[in-house]
């Protein structure tokens, strides 16, 4: 479970930091897209230990295969949506409230 949730938590931490620093929209979206690309193209393989095999965990990245494969592309889009959508909703709400106070005042 940590393999799937870690990119989302890292993305949320970047979004919170970007919001606190009041960065332009492009920089956090670019960083969240890179995290989604890395997370969506990662493949984690775990082998349970047995009597003749000590087992182990390995991780590899297949960016080209992930982009050609529909399932890999779906993972990339899913990670981007899970990390970027909360930040984008927050950003659009703040932009709209800023314009509303400027128009009223």
Domain ranges of the chain: 2-86
**pLDDT for position 98:** 60
pTM of the model: 0.68
Angle between helices 26-41 and 70-104 (to 10 degrees): 160
Is the model's pLDDT at 78 over the cut of 70?
yes
**pLDDT for position 67:** 67
Residue 9 CA to residue 59 CA, distance in Å, equals 19
User: Which residues fall within 8 angstroms of residue 3, CB to CB, at 6 or more apart?
Assistant: 42, 44
Percent of the chain residues past pLDDT 90, beyond the cut? 0
* Average pLDDT along the chain: 80
Percent of the chain residues past pLDDT 70, beyond the cut? 84
Eight-state DSSP code of residue 51: S
């Amino acid at each position: 479970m940590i393999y799937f949730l870690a990119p989302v938590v890292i993305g949320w931490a970047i979004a919170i930091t970007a919001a606190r620093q009041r960065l332009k929209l492009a920089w956090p979206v670019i960083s969240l897209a890179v995290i989604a690309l890395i997370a969506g193209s990662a493949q984690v393989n775990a082998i349970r230990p047995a009597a003749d095999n000590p087992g182990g965990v390995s991780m590899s990245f297949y960016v080209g295969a992930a982009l050609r494969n529909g399932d890999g592309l779906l993972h990339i889009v899913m990670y981007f949506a899970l990390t970027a959508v909360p930040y984008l909703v927050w950003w659009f709400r703040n932009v709209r409230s800023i314009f509303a106070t400027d128009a009223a005042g």
